[in-house]
Amino acid sequence: MCGIVGFCNLKRKLDTNNYTIEKMTSLLNNRGPDEKGFFYNDNIHLGHRRLTIIDAENGKQPMTKTFGENTYTICYNGQIYNTNEIKKELIDNGFSFNGYSDTEVILNGFIYYGYDIVKKLNGIFSFVIWNNNKKELFLARDHFGIKPLYYSIFNDTLIFASEIKSILAYPRIAPILNDVGICELFGIGPAHTPGLSIFKNIFEVKPAHFGIYNIDGLKFYKYWQLISLPHTDSFETTCETVNHLLGDAISRQLVSDVSLCDMLSGGLDSSIITAYTSNYCKKNGLPPVETYSVDYVDNDKNFVKSDFQPNSDNYYINIMVNAFKTNHHKIVIDTPELAEALEDAMIARDFPGMADVDSSMLLFCKNIKKNASVAISGECSDEIFGGYPWFFREDALNSNTFPWSIALKERQELLNKDISNKLNLVDYVDSRYKDSINEVTILDCDTKETAEKRKISYLTLNWFMQTLLDRSDRMSMYNGLELRVPFCDYRLVQYMWNVPWEIKALNGREKGLLRYIVKDLLPDEIVNRKKSPYPKTHNPNYLALVKNMLSKIMENKEAPINNLLDRKYIIDILNTNGEAFKRPWFGQLMQGPQLMAYLCQVNMWLERYQPKIEI
């Protein structure tokens, strides 16, 4: 895992001063704490920060290869899980290798397969390859955008980086928040429309896309998409196929030259990962798997059961630890550090995110990094197997909007009056929602329920899952920790896309099919546990702390948050301990204390990034 950055101009020679690329690269130090590297050319400068996972000696970047009379240079962030298969095919076709890094496999693969290399890769990646003879730059991003890649074009120069902060460090690239950015931030956020960022003229390479930048400009092409097909497999074959795909995805992601661990919440998904990992360790004579969980000071004492969070994790974690004899580490986060990390979490994302849901993950990863460099997560299972409440709740199914973000009226009211009179968040979100729904292919053979669930699955995969993947990447890489997500294997996602809802939700349960498949792998209590989201703090001291933080901000009438949001409405939220905003801001958790923490993040962001507001 790494951070990549660079800029390319094909119409004139670049300045020989290396200060700009070095400064831009330094802002990605967290993503790659182990090494840095640079590549300089008349037309392109590249910078790389490396987190060393595989082949420390021969995987240094940027990496240049000469083939015939041409030279190619790659700058890459990611991990490829089918490296051995591609490498064997390349060796059979006359290629030789200096080591066993996936970087070298991608570069040789590009030389041999050309643009089609992306169709060969199974993994998480974003990379650029400079073709020196053609004066052409190739950019690519993985199937689900697990690894980030942003870009901007200014004065005939293409600027690109793993994170927005590096692009903003390029001379004369200014942080500008226009009408689209405000609608993205407060209408869609913390999700975002694929391809966009909240900053004017800064974009992201869309998931499953590659780009070609040459003298004719920058053009993008989609290399993969979900395909709707009739599901003809029997129930038994379906179970066997899912079991094989999941097992293969997990086993491929257990390869590492450095210490590796599992995140364990005691939920179905992380428990599946732990069970597979534990069995793999036993089979290969390895020490017991290291597992990590997150909790908060006094959380058991203050836990409040709800429809969205029906039970706490500790009881179920202990079941898994005892059943699989893992070497478990419980990370307990205290209230002050959770609040203090809100700013770092915002900086990691480059914009306000999921408040303490983010800062908790950031601190969780920080503690894991003390002992491991790679962690495996059960993320993405709910999106693929139908685990979220909105797959079942009538109010969500009939909301005619993104079901995890239905508080649109409240979001509009949160804007200050001048901005609110100019922008209609509801119309903006509705347009994005309809555009996405219209991309879904419904089959004639789909039952009414399967057709309905295809639509909500598509939204969940392309919007909600993207948000969680962004969160996972930013919070883990801020600590130099690689996070792997086996459930997000594109082969598994494609197969499950066409499994009828009646099978996917077997016995009327969320993730019913998955529960059935792993019933002999896990303890019964784990298999039957009701879906519970990432844990949040229930400590009343946290509410008091973020309320005090926000109150201090609002005491200053010149605070930058007042340039965007309605001061009176925020004061109402404070006066009612967050009850003025009845529905969660996003997903299942962002209510009350989390909303106050989010508003604190907004002000922190405005103070640090100082965006110019244009509407």
The catalytic residues are: 2
Count CB neighbours of 455 within 10 A.
Answer: 16
Q: Which segments of 192-302 are extended strands (E)?
A: 203-204, 209-214, 217-222, 260-263, 290-296
In angstroms, rounded to a whole number, what is the distance separating the alpha carbons of residues 262 and 255? Answer: 13
Q: Tell me the β-bridge partners of 332.
A: 295
Count CB neighbours of 33 within 10 A.
Answer: 18
Amino acid at 600: C
Dig out the tokens for 92 from the structure. Answer: 């059979």
In angstroms, rounded to a whole number, what is the distance separating the alpha carbons of residues 102 and 53? Answer: 10
Are 313 and 275 a contacting pair, CB within 8 Å? no
Dig out the tokens for 200 from the structure. Answer: 């004017």
Distance of CA 345 to the CA centre of its chain: 14
- Which of helix, strand or coil describes residue 227? coil
Are 588 and 510 a contacting pair, CB within 8 Å? no
Question: What does the H/E/C string look like for 11-27?
Answer: CCCCCCCCHHHHHHHHC
Are 489 and 122 a contacting pair, CB within 8 Å? yes
Count CB neighbours of 288 within 10 A.
Answer: 15
Handedness of CA 606, 610, 611, 612 (dihedral sign): positive
Amino acid at 195: G
Give, in degrees to the nearest 5, the angle at Cα 483 between 322 and 224.
120
Dig out the tokens for 81 from the structure. Answer: 């899980």
